[in-house]
Amino acid sequence: LQLYTAGFDASWEIDLFGGTRRAIEAASANAEAVDADLADTQVSLAAEVAQTYIDLRDQQTRLELARRQADIEQKMLTLTQQRRERGTAADIDVERLTTQVENTRSTLIPLDAQMSDSLDRLAVLTGRAPGALDQQLASARPLPPMPATVPIGDPSAMLQRRPDIRAAERRLASSNAQIGEHVADFFPKVTLFGDIGFSASDPGHLIRKSNFSWITAPYLQWNAFDFGRTLGSVHAAEASRDEAEARYTKAVLGALQDANSSLSRYGHQREHVVTLLKVETSATHSAALMRQRYTAGVATLIDLLDTQRQEFSAQQNVVAGQAELLKDFVSLQKSLGIGWEAPQG
């Protein structure tokens, strides 16, 4: 007589004192912390890409202005050399302008090198090989426009948005849940073992209700003589919780300092750009007046070229100041956690 059987063994642990639930909470909180770490990396990468792009456009614009300034200074030098040949200019004037021309030209090479470095850096930051974006971004473009207003919000909203704070908070929650997981080891664990299956002499009648059988048995496990080790595990978990709490406090305080510093830098740079714009306006107005005087024949070409050189210099300062303001804006956005949404739990 042959007997055919089919079945499986199973075991269930009854979570009477919440140890398993706390372990699940710890694992879930740790997984959420890892997600927040990923968001923090993405925010940092986006900020770095934005700042590198701003650097590139700043370098391109200032390089173009420096070239135009060098051309004007070269014209001034040529005219001064001609005047010296006619005896109406001194050697010191020629040497002074020669020095100015060479100083301006000396700024072109570093700017060009910085542009190449920014192009390669942008390519790498976007996951491409160095040089992959040269053709696409080689042409000069103006700096991105500044927004009219900067939403700041309240500090509590900032703390909820920043992914680094969320990661620290989730790790604190995980450490706290691990304490409960170890505390549950003080109490007994009840496990149910079971055997479920079918048996029949005819394989065609195997899967029938009448041939179904099952058996269960409880199993009690309690380390009643190992409380010292369990207590040590609880104390270790509490120490980890205290460390996680300290890291969370550090993350919050660091975020508040970062936001306050970024806001201060942004505000002061806005004031600096306003001052630079006033200087540029004055230089542009001076160049326009000198152009009128030159047209009327009461000013020399050298005087006109000199005011134009000052105008280009003021424009360069404005571009550099606006680029720094944009980078401060990016830093402010990053410090406030603006630009991304925390996952909804």
Confidence of residue 345 (pLDDT cuts 50, 70, 90): very low
List pLDDT tens digits, range 221-249: 777 777 888 889 899 999 999 999 999 99
User: What is the pLDDT at residue 342?
Assistant: 46
Determine the pLDDT at residue 339: 55
| pLDDT tens readout for residues 96-129 | 889 988 988 998 999 999 999 999 999 999 999 9
Q: Is the pLDDT of residue 32 over 70?
A: yes
Per DSSP, which regions of the chain are E strands? 4-14, 189-200, 212-221
Distance CA 125, CA 137 (A): 14
| 188 compared with 45, residue with greater pLDDT | 45
Within 10 A of 122 (CB to CB), how many other CB atoms are there? 22
Question: CB within 8 A of 212, min separation 6: which ones?
Answer: 196, 197, 198
- What percentage of the chain carries pLDDT values higher than 70? 96
What confidence category does residue 309 fall into, taking pLDDT thresholds of 50, 70 and 90?
confident
pLDDT attached to residue 115: 94
180-194 pLDDT, tens per residue? 988 888 888 877 777
Average pLDDT rounded to a whole number, residues 11-16: 75
pLDDT value of position 210: 74
Mean pLDDT, all residues of the chain: 87
Residue 343 is predicted with a pLDDT of 46
The residue among 341, 340, 343, 344 whose CA lies nearest residue 43 is: 340
pLDDT at 102: 92
